[in-house]
Structure 1
Amino acid sequence: MNDHTDTQDDTPLLFARALDGQGGGRVLDWAGARSCQPTAQEPVLWMHLCRNRPGVYEWLQEQVGIPEPTAELLTSDQTRPRAFREKNALVATLRGINFNPGAEPEDMVSMQVWSDGVRVITLRRFPLQTPRDVLAQIDQGAGPTDAGAIVTQLTEAMVARMNQSIIDMNDQIDTLEERDMDDDPDDMLNRIATIRRNCLGLQRHMGPQHVALEAISRDAPAWFEEHDRREIAETIDRLRRYLDDIDVSKESAVVLMDELRTRALSSNERATYMLTIVAGIFLPLGFLTGLLGINVGGMPGVDSGNAFWWVAGICAAIIVILLVIFKRLRWL
């Protein structure tokens, strides 16, 4: 399910809510969101924007008062996960699984977050379902009540969605382990290679995200309350378990690939061995028939009608003798 806009297509706003502090929120359009001022009845404003729309960078600087380097970070495509505190504001870049059509699990979608405790601004370029999950809770009256809760629920939902991709990869590995190894090994190798690539991609992105979440827990401003820090700590533990699961999946894929390659190598060695045995049997026979086929005078049996059968009998005897010798040498 993709992001869609609640307002006009020519604005950067995807949705906005003025939180009532009780789990619900009032719907705002672009004009209402820009002019909204937090009050005792609506203490927090959350705006979700498309960062590549025209004017977002300038609005962040001129209207919100975000410093130029931070505004550039919030609208940039340099989306490596990170988080830091800037005076009383929390700035973070997080990544989530890309569930858009045609995307692979390791293709991550980034989301930038800025909050000063009374305003939360999230920005994305490509559709991302995680903000919609939190928005649905707000519209049902059971959502976050303050800025810290918005940040923690966004990070928790983003990390939780990674679990499904890990489960899917583990299911694929289990299916491959149950298949007959001789059943289309090339297809199995390709699927295993895809799983390993997905594992490496997830690990490459989730590692920095782990560091970013730790930075949020450690350096967030005072409005990020103690219970928010505990929830972030639980999300960090969950992410660490997911990283361990990815390691297990990656190792399982390596073991399965090694087994397939070992079987293929063993099969090739067996075929080579049998060809060597066959060559060892027919080498003396080829020498004998080649010797008898030379066109020189004095060849024995040329005028005898039984000479062919004598040669055939000698060849058969040679084969029997070689088979006995190979058997005693345990070559067969």
Structure 2
Amino acid sequence: MSMESEYVRATLLDRNGSGREVAWPEVESWHPRQGVLWLHFDSACEEVLAWVSDSSELPTVVKEALLAKEVRPRTLAVGDGLFLALCGVDPKHKARRESRVSIRIWVEENRVISIGKRRLLAEEDLISRLSSGCGPRGTAALVVSLADLLVLRMGDRVDDFEEKVDELEDQLLEWSVKDLGANLVQFRKRTIALRRYLCLQREVLTRMQQESAPWFDEGSHILLADINERLQRHIDDIDTIRERAAIAQEELLSRSSEQLNSRMYVLSMVAAIFLPLSFLTGLFGINVGGIPWAQAREGFLVFCILLVAALAGQIAFFYWKKWL
């Protein structure tokens, strides 16, 4: 496998906060004394999948977990190593389900292997910190920093959702019922999905705190607790957003019901007004003898006056009953 490939990135940490990208031949000759090695692969590359499967010397259960196509956030301890399945967000696909990107990580004392479908901004941020000399100093710090940046980027998505629900509330008076209702349903589905992944991520971080890997120091446990607390705040914010969206949807349904009731009321009034008139015209239109004014020249005029009087009387009665 060639390091010129866009599907592979290898970074060597010097344990002093700095890191540099290394070529694949240097990866193959790497020794733990040189520093912590972080390998990040794109799962879209068949060559990467073949290397993980055949040449990585990882436990079988870890290989299967790393190569799995769909992995929910979870953690698995294997010997002195730790497998993590986390998720991040891709800002290029905010409105799509694919905006959530799974990243699988295998952590050893001196080596970290991560595989993802697309490169996340959290990874770019971490590489930038290492390049500037203010990055993590060890394996545990690397994993915790990556988890921290993933949660930070999820905070951006929560902020996007807050702006979206503000927009939907503002458009509640402007949009048609059909358009706004469909948008609210879609928005609620997205918030539910994000909350589910955030809760799973919180469980993973909680489990990480409970693991007793020898390379996981006390400081990393403290940082994980802080990250977990911020993640819980994001979950609380998502719950608030879901409640606001539910209230907006209830208001929309209520307004729709009011419009329907109003239209049905108008139709009922029209039917009630014309029912007696229809009765009279039908009664006087039957072809039998004895119809009043049948032979009178003024009969039609008298009958029209009768209808107008009946109509006026009905309207007066409706106003007296406060039905109009």
The TM-score bracket by the shorter chain reads over 0.9
Q: Which amino acid aligns with 2:193?
A: G
- Structure 1 unaligned residues grouped into runs of 5+: 1-5
Q: How far is 1:103 from its partner?
A: 5.5
Q: Secondary structure at the match of 2:118?
A: coil
Matches within 5 A, 1:190-201: 190-201=182-193
Query: Matched residues in 1 for 2:217 and 2:303: separation?
Result: 99
Instruction: Indicate yes or no: 2:47 matched with 1:51.
Output: no
- Among residues 4, 9, 15, which one is paired with 1:8 in the alignment? 4
Matches within 5 A, 1:1-332: 7-9=3-5, 13=8, 15-39=9-33, 42-56=34-48, 59-60=51-52, 63-101=55-93, 104=96, 107-181=99-173, 183-332=175-324
Query: Matched residues in 2 for 1:190 and 1:117: separation?
Result: 50
RMSD in angstroms over aligned alpha carbons?
A: 2.2
Q: How far is 1:140 from its partner?
A: 1.7
Q: Which amino acid aligns with 1:27?
A: E
Q: Secondary structure at the match of 1:224?
A: coil
Q: How far is 1:107 from its partner?
A: 4.0
What whole-Å deviation, never above 9, does each CA across 1:8-63 have from its counterpart, x for those lacking one? 22x852x1121122221232112211211122xx4211111123533545644665
Distance 1:180 1:207, change over 3 A: closer
Point out 4+ residue stretches in structure 1 off by more than 6 angstroms: none
Is this contact kept in 2: 1:57–1:72, CA < 8 A? no
Q: Which amino acid aligns with 2:70?
A: Q
Query: Matched residues in 2 for 1:236 and 1:261: separation?
Result: 37
Q: How far is 1:181 from its partner?
A: 2.2
Which stretch of the first structure deviates more once superposed, 118-127 or 46-55? 46-55
Q: Secondary structure at the match of 2:134?
A: coil
Distance 1:319 1:326, change over 3 A: same
Q: How far is 1:64 from its partner?
A: 4.2
What whole-Å deviation, never above 9, does each CA across 1:270-318 have from its counterpart, x for those lacking one? 1111111111111111111111122233322233222222111111111
Which stretch of the first structure deviates more once superposed, 263-272 or 71-80? 71-80
Identity, % of aligned pairs? 29
Q: Which amino acid aligns with 2:4?
A: Q
- Structure 2 unaligned residues grouped into runs of 5+: none
What whole-Å deviation, never above 9, does each CA across 1:180-200 have from its counterpart, x for those lacking one? 525322221122112101111
Corresponding pairs, count: 324
Is this contact kept in 1: 2:62–2:106, CA < 8 A? no
Q: How far is 1:220 from its partner?
A: 4.4
TM-score scaled to structure 2, two decimals? 0.93
Query: Matched residues in 2 for 1:282 and 1:63: separation?
Result: 87
Which stretch of the first structure deviates more once superposed, 311-320 or 124-133? 124-133
Which stretch of the first structure deviates more once superposed, 289-298 or 130-139? 289-298
Which stretch of the first structure deviates more once superposed, 297-306 or 137-146? 297-306
Is this contact kept in 2: 1:38–1:44, CA < 8 A? yes
TM-score scaled to structure 1, two decimals? 0.90
Query: Matched residues in 2 for 1:147 and 1:282: separation?
Result: 84
Which stretch of the first structure deviates more once superposed, 48-57 or 249-258? 48-57
- Give the aligned partner of residue 3 of structure 1: none
Distance 1:55 1:183, change over 3 A: closer
